[in-house]
Amino acid sequence: MGKRIFGTDGVRGLANGVLTPELALDLGVAAARVLVGHGEYTGQRPLAVVGRDTRISGQFLEHAVVAGLAAAGVDVVRLRVLPTPGVAYFTDQLGADVGVVISASHNAMPDNGIKFLARGGVKLDDALEREIESVMGTEFDRPVGGTVGRVTPHQGTVERYAAHLVATVTQPLAGLRVVLDCANGAASEVGPMALRQAGVEVITINAQPDGLNINENCGSTHLEPLQQAVVRHGAAAGFALDGDADRCLAVDRNGEVVDGDQIMAILALGMREAGTLRDDTVVATVMSNLGFLVAMREAGVTVAQTAVGDRYVLEEMKRGGFSLGGEQSGHVILSRHATTGDGVLTALQLLDRMVVADAPLHRLAAVMTRMPQVLVNVPGVDRSRAASDPELAAAVDAEAAALGETGRILLRPSGTEPLVRVMVEAPTATVAREVADRLADVVRARLSL
């Protein structure tokens, strides 16, 4: 296949439209052939684990992927509904050669996605994805008889994963009341279970998935219900997950949002105090708020910045052996405990830090001051010329010079759509909006199709 089907986070699109059962089956076969081909089995049969979120389309897509894997001679363990980081955990714990997550994360319910994990529960690199694409639809020696794959359900999946999460906290979390918004997604069972086993009094909202309501006006992309519930119940904090629970945003007892940058700042200082922040470094993307960068610099913590996307954060963390990284959106990666972002783990670690520091969340979050940030998406433009147009570059330089050290400008093309994103940080929201709008006008004028 010459056409690229993998995006920045697996294969994603409208379920039964773009992402059909036929495509899912072909992907299962191709992934098995490629990833198994990179393994060493010493006579053992190759093994895959498959998990999904609560979307109704996940049912038929799961069966299609499992059929493809088994048809290529891979034994399959079905984890059923489980967060993305849970699938990564069992990929490692069960010694699987392939992990498969069927989820479209924070996307609306009609979409779905298929993401593959390599041995150890780590995301695939671009080269392996291209190799999978290259073998799709090609002939191969099909196993027959007893050499086809076996398919079995995994017993006690949710309980084992909850126990793993609870084991990461340093002391009981009794006395804390929190609200957990499960986004009617993959953590609707394991999230409340893990927090309660850690001693937390949990009030759950949006934890009754019906296959259709995942991410619907809830979770990390719609924080208003959580903010209201935290204040109404007098909770110490609230946590919002997304559909596959690989991200987490928080709300303090006053109903104020604590975003991914603030979460990373809190955890970075706590981990440095405990001696677990490798090289006193945290990995973040170029979209992290300027306030985060300033706070970390003043605290003596180095920030290694990457391109946008948790896969790039993970790559940098692996390269440098770093223990903490993440994104403003709430993907927080704690490499001592997980190979990917884990929303429930993040919530537990924040609560653990609140207990250790004997401080409420809003006081811990005050370690950084968020600079006003405005993001403008400019559609219908030639994104390929965003970095090479001289007049656009001159306009960006002029605005950046005017802001000086009090602000920041980031202009980047979308990785998947014909649009350019203009992000501006400034001392006030008004200034940020004015600068962003002026630059957006230049983008439209210079890059129009």
pLDDT tens-digit series, residues 335-350: 999 999 999 999 999 9
* Neighbouring C-alpha atoms within 13 Å toward the C-beta of 76: 26
- pLDDT of residue 2 exceeding 60: no
pLDDT at 41 over 60: no
Report pTM. Answer: 0.92
CA distances from 390 to 378, 397, 418, 421 (A): 18, 10, 20, 17
Within 10 A of 1 (CB to CB), how many other CB atoms are there?
14
Chain centroid to Cα 13, Å, comes to 17
Q: Has residue 438 got a pLDDT over 70?
A: yes
* pLDDT band per the 50, 70, 90 thresholds, residue 9: confident
Confidence of residue 246 (pLDDT cuts 50, 70, 90): very high
Kindly tell me if the per-residue pLDDT of 264 is higher than 60: yes
**Per-residue confidence (pLDDT) for residue 71, from 0 to 100:** 96
Catalytic, 323? Answer: no
pLDDT value at 124 more than 90: no
User: What is the rounded distance in angstroms from the CA atom of residue 285 to the CA atom of residue 423?
Assistant: 13
Rounded distance, CA 63 to CA 71, Å? 12
| Strand ranges in 289-394 using DSSP code E only, listed in sequence order | 302-306, 324-326, 332-334, 373-379
Q: Does the pLDDT of residue 42 top 70, yes or no?
A: no
| Active-site pick, 57, 103, 105, 323 | 105
For residue 292, is pLDDT > 90?
A: yes
Neighbours of 93 (CB within 10 A): 13
C-alpha count within 13 angstroms, C-beta hemisphere, residue 374: 19
Instruction: Give the gyration radius of the chain's Cα atoms.
Output: 22
Q: Alpha-carbon distance 312 to 304, whole Å?
A: 11
Report the mean per-residue pLDDT for the chain.
94
> How sure is the predictor about 40, in pLDDT bands with cuts at 50, 70 and 90?
low
In this predicted structure, the answer to whether residue 8 has a pLDDT above a threshold of 50 is yes
Look up tokens 């993959």; give the residue. Answer: 186
Average pLDDT rounded to a whole number, residues 221-240? 98
Beta strands in 164-315 (DSSP E): 177-181, 201-205, 237-241, 248-252, 257-258, 281-285, 302-306
Residue-level pLDDT at 421: 94
Phi-psi sector, 45: left (phi>0), alpha (psi -120 to 50), beta = beta
pLDDT recorded at residue 111: 97
- Please give the residue that has the higher pLDDT: either 406 or 347: 347
Between CA 166 and CA 190 the distance in angstroms is 11
pLDDT tens digits for range 152-162: 999 999 999 99
For the chain, give the percent of residues with pLDDT over 90: 89
Tell me the average pLDDT across 7-23.
93
Task: Say what the pLDDT of residue 389 is.
Answer: 94
Cβ–Cβ under 8 Å, residues 432 and 424? yes
Question: pLDDT digits over 176-205, tens only?
Answer: 999 999 999 999 999 999 999 999 999 999
Of residues 311 and 347, the one with the higher pLDDT is 347
CA distance 327 to 259: 9
Mean pLDDT (whole number) for 55-72 = 98
Q: What is the C-alpha to C-alpha distance for residues 385 and 388, in angstroms, rounded to an integer? A: 5
Q: Rounded mean pLDDT of 80-100?
A: 96
Tell me the mean pLDDT in the region 298-315. Answer: 92
Provide the pLDDT for residue 1. Answer: 43
pLDDT of residue 45: 86
Q: How confident is the model at residue 125 (pLDDT cuts 50, 70, 90)?
A: confident
pLDDT at position 97 over 60:
yes
H or E element: which one contains 353? helix 343-357
pLDDT at 73 over 80: yes
